[in-house]
Amino acid sequence: MSAEKVTTSEKTAIGIAHSKLILIGEHAVVHGQPAIAIPFPLIGVETVIERVPGTVKMDSSFYHGPLYLAPEALQGIVKCVEASLEYLEIPCKDLLIRINSSIPPGKGLGSSASVAISVIRSLFDFADRECTDEELLELANVAETYAHGAPSGLDTLTITSRSPVWYKKENPIDYIDLGEDFHFIVADSGRVGDTRTSVESVAKLLKSAPKRIQRKMDRIGELTHQAKHALERASKHFLGQLLNEAQKELESLGVSDAGLNKLIYFARKEGALGAKLTGGGNGGCIIALAQNEVHSKLLAEKLKKYGATAVWPFVLKKH
Ligand code: MEV
C-alpha cells in the first residue's frame, strides 16, 4: 500500500500477541547456551490504532490504560514504533495507539516483547501489509534492546511461535515435538523483577569469576539438553528433576529471591514434580510441573493459599 493511502485511511488497526514462559535455560541463554521456551496464550496484549488527526503525538502519550512498563521498556516501545513507522513508510503521526495488556510486567512473562510485537502487528495492519517473522523479530528487537540491554532474542521468538521453542543465540531455532501432554502451573510471587538488572548482575559475575560461572552456564546448558529429551520422550519425572537442578544453579547465580524460593518450596511440598523460577528472576513467577491436570488445579489453589498473587494452571499439548 502506498504512503498516500495510509495517510488518508480512517481504519482501525489491530495487533495481538500472547505471552511466553521460559521452561529452562534462562540467563545461560544470554551467554550462548540453549534454552527452552513456551508460548503462553492464557495472557496477552491487544493494540488498537486509530487515526485521530492532530491529537496524539508519537511519544509516550500513546501509553494508555492500566499497563505499566519500566521506563527503559517504554522507551523501547517508542523507538520500536518509530522504527516501524519508518520501515512501513507511514508519514502520518496522528495516531492513537492503545495498548491493552493482561500480562503483568516485570514477572518474567515477556510483557515488553509482547507489547512490542502487538504494536508492530497493529502498525502492519494499519498499513495493510503482511508481516513476515523476520520483519517482526527485527523490529521487536529494537524494543527489547532498550528493555533488557543485551537480550538473547528468545522472548520475541517464542511470542511469535505456537510450539515450544529450542533456542540458541545465533543458531537456527528448532521446535520441540512433545511425547505427551505436560501440565504446568505458573504462580506469581507478587514482587516485580527487573530482567535488565538480573541479566547485568549475571554478566558481572561471569566477568569476575569466569571459570566458576562458565561451569554453571555449561551445567544449565547440559540440563536444557536433557530437558529437550525428557519432553520428547514423555519423561515427566525426569523433567521435574531437571527443573529442580536448574533452580539450584539459578539460585547460585543470585537471581532467585525469598518470594520465589518460598513458592518453589511449597510447590514441591504439594507434589510438584519440579519447580523453578521462570524468566529474569529476583521477583516474578515460578513454573512448576504438575503430576496431571487435576493436580495442576489443586496446586494452583494451594499456591494461592501460600501467597501467590496470581496462578495459571495450563497444559502444554502434544500435537
Ligand atoms: C528473560 O525472559 C530471559 C533471560 O534469559 C534474558 C534473555 O534471554 O534475554 C533472563
- What are the boundaries of each domain within the chain? 3-167, 177-316
pLDDT at 146: 80
With 70 as the cut, is the pLDDT of residue 135 above it? yes
Model confidence pLDDT, tens digit, residues 207-221: 999 999 999 999 999
Give residue-wise pLDDT tens across range 32-86.
999 999 999 999 999 988 887 765 554 444 444 445 667 777 788 888 888 998 9
Contact indicator for 79, 146 with CB cutoff of 8 Å: yes
What distance in angstroms lies between residue 27's CA and the mean position of ligand 1's atoms? 6
Coil, helix or strand at residue 187: strand
Q: Give me the half-sphere count of Cα atoms (radius 13 Å) on the Cβ side of residue 127.
A: 20
pLDDT tens digits along 234-284: 999 999 999 999 999 999 999 999 999 999 999 999 999 999 999 999 999
CATH of 3-167, one of 2.40.30.10, 3.40.30.10, 3.30.230.10, 3.10.450.50: 3.30.230.10
Q: What confidence category does residue 142 fall into, taking pLDDT thresholds of 50, 70 and 90?
A: confident
- What is d(CA 214, CA 212) in angstroms, rounded to the nearest whole number? 6
Q: Looking at residues 110-119, what average pLDDT do you find?
A: 91
User: Is residue 228 predicted with pLDDT exceeding 50?
Assistant: yes
Given the CA of residue 144, which atom of ligand 1 is nearest to it?
9
The complex scores an ipTM of 0.97
Question: Between these two residues, 69 and 164, which has the higher pLDDT value?
Answer: 164
Q: Which CATH number fits domain 177-316: 2.70.98.90, 3.40.50.1370, 3.40.50.300, 3.30.70.890?
A: 3.30.70.890
Which residue's alpha carbon is at the smallest distance from atom 2 of ligand 1?
279
The grid cell for 293 is 491436570
Whether 29 lines ligand 1, by a CB cut-off of 6 Å, is yes
What is residue 151's predicted lDDT score, i.e. its pLDDT?
72
Among 284, 287, 258, 252, residue whose Cα is nearest residue 28: 252
Q: In degrees to the nearest 10, what's the CA dihedral of 204, 193, 258, 227?
A: -80
Please give the pLDDT value at position 52. Answer: 78
Residue nearest to atom 9 of ligand 1 (CA): 151
Ligand 1 within 6 A of CB of 106: no
Atom of ligand 1 nearest to the CA of 108: 2
Measure 280 CA to ligand 1 centroid, in angstroms. 6
How far is the C-alpha of 139 from the C-alpha of 175, rounded, in Å? 22
Is 155 close to ligand 1, i.e. is its CB under 6 Å away? yes
pLDDT (mean) for 135-153: 84
Q: Give yes or no: 94 in active site.
A: no
Helix (H, G, I), strand (E, B) or coil at 256: coil
Q: Does pLDDT of 145 surpass 60?
A: yes
Q: What percent of the chain has pLDDT over 90?
A: 65
Catalytic residue among 125, 155, 188, 194: 155
